[in-house]
């Protein structure tokens, strides 16, 4: 009797215990300050005086409480590339979900890295602030009892790589506001510097490198002189451990590789260079053996010379390790995404054109313009006239480009296929907030229903950012299990800024707090939401 009672009590207590996942607290002061990424002074956006910003180290299910004080003379918002914000799109930190933090004010984000592992990053989402800093790495480690499919590395380094301009972000934004295209960037940075950063390793040991492309548009090839890269994780998926001599990292993407310091003790080049560009930018860092007798020497190793074919083959070779655990103890392969029936197909075609004499970019002919009120708040307070669900069609319409606050409506628990069709001659990169999705296929040409025959329905990787090659398509599957207002965007930042984005409103008619958290008590209100009172 007593035993049964205790057991019942335990059952009753379980949800409480489970709710008490660990908390990590951060206080961040955002300010302008001098940085010297290319050796000369530039104005950077610093977090607690740092450029890049501090790394967030966390473990699956941790609550991250981040109090952000905006000491810039302009509004500011941070977004969390890859952190899913389950049931909580209010915290997503893009203008469609969250009011900007006014100058001199603060806002406390309450995030949870619920059921996630992997490598991600945060960045400032407004205007062109991303071109000045305030980005940083996010690591989500597995809980201690969950097996990781490789031995503990001797160290775990984050490498934030990306293209960089010598022009201030305000100037870049003014160029775009004026209807023009941006010039080619000046240089590439690795952790905020070109040709300066050094990583020290010990002979014989193995290290994890988490590489995120936090840049504005260019795909970067990553490689290390004399060392192979063993790919182990892509945006939260443990991969089949395949060895590559170099890796293409598209803008907005994150990869983890293992490297073993098994060469002659000296210093080696770590290299990034732009891909698919006529002028190639290169930047290096140093892999320094602690017992090194010799500085870096020899030519900087060259990147792949073949272009698209090499890259697409590499992308297709990246597979999920079905038997390895992800955030939970069960194997990643236990969810058979290939057996689920697709309830809806959405085909998204990107385009570039002039609208009223100004350069714009669109999806299915709609070039996104922000509303005066975050869409999530308009939805919550039922403010009419801010946006219309269905303001962007499910298929290319062939219409000339036009401006609208585009929102696609979708049903909670639908299983959706999205095809990104790229008729242009550039590599694109697409990101979806709130989710990770299976990249089931990519190929040259125009997608047709017959393209489904070449889908990988077994061990495609689940991730949050995918590339789409020039004059090619990429298809993804998504289980819409996260209610909210979610940004779908080009990670090519000028294109995102000039309209190549929209929101996916995943809606449940039940409107239950089981499916979506209530509006946060500290939510800032702006636009037409000012002065409204949350229903509590």
Candidates 102-110, 119-127, 380-388, 440-448; binding stretch for ligand NAG (CB under 6 A): 102-110
**How far apart are CB 187 and ligand NAG at their closest, in Å?**
4
| Contacting ligand NAG within 236-255 (CB under 6 A) | 240-241
User: Can you tell me the distance from the alpha carbon of 153 to that of 141, in angstroms, rounded to the nearest whole number?
Assistant: 12
Cβ proximity of 474 and 308 under 8 Å: no
**Among 174, 219, 52, 188, residue whose Cα is nearest residue 123:** 52
Establish if 391 lies at the interface with ligand NAG (CB under 6 A): no
**How far apart are CB 472 and ligand NAG at their closest, in Å?**
28
**How far apart are CB 339 and ligand NAG at their closest, in Å?**
6
Stretch 476-515: interaction string toward ligand NAG, x if CB under 6 A: ----------------------------------------
User: Can you tell me the distance from the alpha carbon of 85 to that of 481, in angstroms, rounded to the nearest whole number?
Assistant: 12
Cβ proximity of 185 and 165 under 8 Å: yes
**Residues recorded for the chain:** 536
From first CA to last CA, the distance across the chain in angstroms is 41
Establish if 321 lies at the interface with ligand NAG (CB under 6 A): yes
Cβ proximity of 526 and 387 under 8 Å: no
Q: Pick one of 258, 324, 407, 419: the residue that binds ligand NAG (CB under 6 A).
A: 324
> Given the complex with ligand NAG, which of 307 and 323 has the nearer CB atom?
323
Stretch 512-531: interaction string toward ligand NAG, x if CB under 6 A: ----------x---------
Q: Write down the H helix ranges in 320-454.
A: 375-381
Candidates 103-111, 257-265, 467-475, 497-505; binding stretch for ligand NAG (CB under 6 A): 103-111
| Token pair for 445 | 């040409």
Q: Write down the H helix ranges in 330-428.
A: 375-381
> Given the complex with ligand NAG, which of 219 and 367 has the nearer CB atom?
219
Residue with tokens 């060469």: 263
Count Cα neighbours of 422 within 13 Å in the Cβ-side half-sphere. 22
**How far apart are CB 161 and ligand NAG at their closest, in Å?**
13
| Token pair for 4 | 């049964």
**How far apart are CB 74 and ligand NAG at their closest, in Å?**
14
**Beta strand residue intervals within 279-365, DSSP E:** 282-289, 344-355, 358-363
DSSP 343: -
| Contacting ligand NAG within 27-66 (CB under 6 A) | 29, 31, 38
How many amino acids of this chain bind ligand NAG (CB under 6 A)?
26
**How far apart are CB 431 and ligand NAG at their closest, in Å?**
26
The residues that touch ligand NAG, with contacts defined as CB under 6 A, are 29, 31, 38, 67, 69, 71, 106-108, 149, 187, 194-195, 240-241, 282-284, 300, 321, 323-324, 339-341, 522
């Amino acid at each position: 009797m007593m035993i049964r009672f205790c057991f019942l009590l335990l059952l009753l207590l379980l949800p409480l215990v489970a709710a008490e996942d660990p908390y990590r607290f951060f206080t961040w002061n955002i300010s302008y300050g001098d940085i010297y990424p290319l050796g000369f002074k530039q104005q950077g956006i610093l977090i607690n005086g740092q450029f890049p910003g501090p790394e967030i180290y966390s473990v699956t299910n941790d609550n991250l409480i981040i109090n952000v004080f905006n000491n810039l003379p302009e509004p500011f918002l941070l977004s969390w590339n890859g952190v899913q914000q389950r049931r909580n799109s209010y915290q997503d930190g893009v203008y469609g979900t969250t009011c900007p933090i006014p100058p001199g004010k603060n806002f406390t984000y309450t995030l949870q890295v619920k059921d996630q592992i992997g490598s991600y990053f945060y960045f400032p989402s407004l205007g062109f602030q991303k071109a000045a800093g305030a980005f940083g790495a996010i690591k989500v480690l597995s809980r201690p009892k969950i097996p990781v499919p490789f031995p503990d590395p001797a160290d775990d380094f984050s490498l934030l790589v990306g293209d960089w301009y010598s022009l201030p972000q305000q100037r870049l934004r003014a160029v775009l506001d004026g209807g023009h295209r941006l010039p080619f960037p000046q240089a590439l940075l690795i952790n905020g510097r070109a040709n300066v950063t050094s990583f020290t390793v010990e002979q014989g040991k193995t290290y994890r490198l988490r590489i995120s492309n936090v840049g504005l548009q260019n795909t970067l090839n990553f490689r290390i002189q004399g060392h192979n890269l063993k790919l182990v994780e892509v945006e939260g998926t443990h991969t089949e451990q395949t060895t590559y001599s170099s890796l293409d990292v598209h803008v907005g993407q994150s990869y983890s590789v293992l490297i073993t310091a098994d060469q002659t003790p000296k210093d080696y080049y770590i290299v990034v260079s732009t891909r698919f560009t006529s002028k190639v930018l290169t930047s290096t860092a140093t892999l320094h053996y602690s017992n090194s007798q010799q500085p870096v020497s020899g030519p900087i190793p060259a990147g792949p010379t073949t272009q698209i074919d090499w890259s697409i083959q590499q992308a297709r070779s990246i597979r999920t390790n079905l038997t390895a655990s992800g955030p939970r103890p069960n194997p990643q392969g236990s969810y058979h995404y290939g057996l689920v029936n697709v309830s809806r197909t959405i085909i998204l075609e990107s385009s570039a054109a002039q609208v009223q004499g100004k350069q714009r970019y669109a999806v299915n002919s709609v070039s996104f313009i922000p509303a005066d009120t975050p869409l999530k708040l308009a939805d919550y307070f039922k403010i009419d006239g801010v946006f219309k669900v269905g303001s962007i069609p499910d298929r290319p319409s062939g219409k000339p480009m036009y401006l609208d606050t585009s929102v696609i409506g979708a049903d909670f628990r639908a299983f959706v296929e999205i095809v990104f069709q790229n008729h242009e001659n550039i590599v694109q990169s697409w990101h979806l907030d709130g989710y990770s999705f299976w990249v089931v296929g990519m190929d040259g040409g125009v997608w047709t229903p017959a393209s489904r025959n070449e889908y990988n329905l077994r061990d495609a990787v689940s991730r949050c950012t995918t590339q789409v090659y020039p004059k090619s398509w990429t298809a993804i599957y998504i289980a819409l299990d996260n209610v909210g207002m979610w940004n779908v965007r080009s990670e090519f930042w000028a294109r995102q800024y000039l309209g190549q984005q929209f929101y996916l409103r995943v809606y449940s008619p039940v409107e239950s707090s089981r499916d979506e958290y209530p509006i946060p008590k500290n939510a800032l209100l702006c636009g037409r939401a000012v002065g409204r009172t949350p229903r509590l």
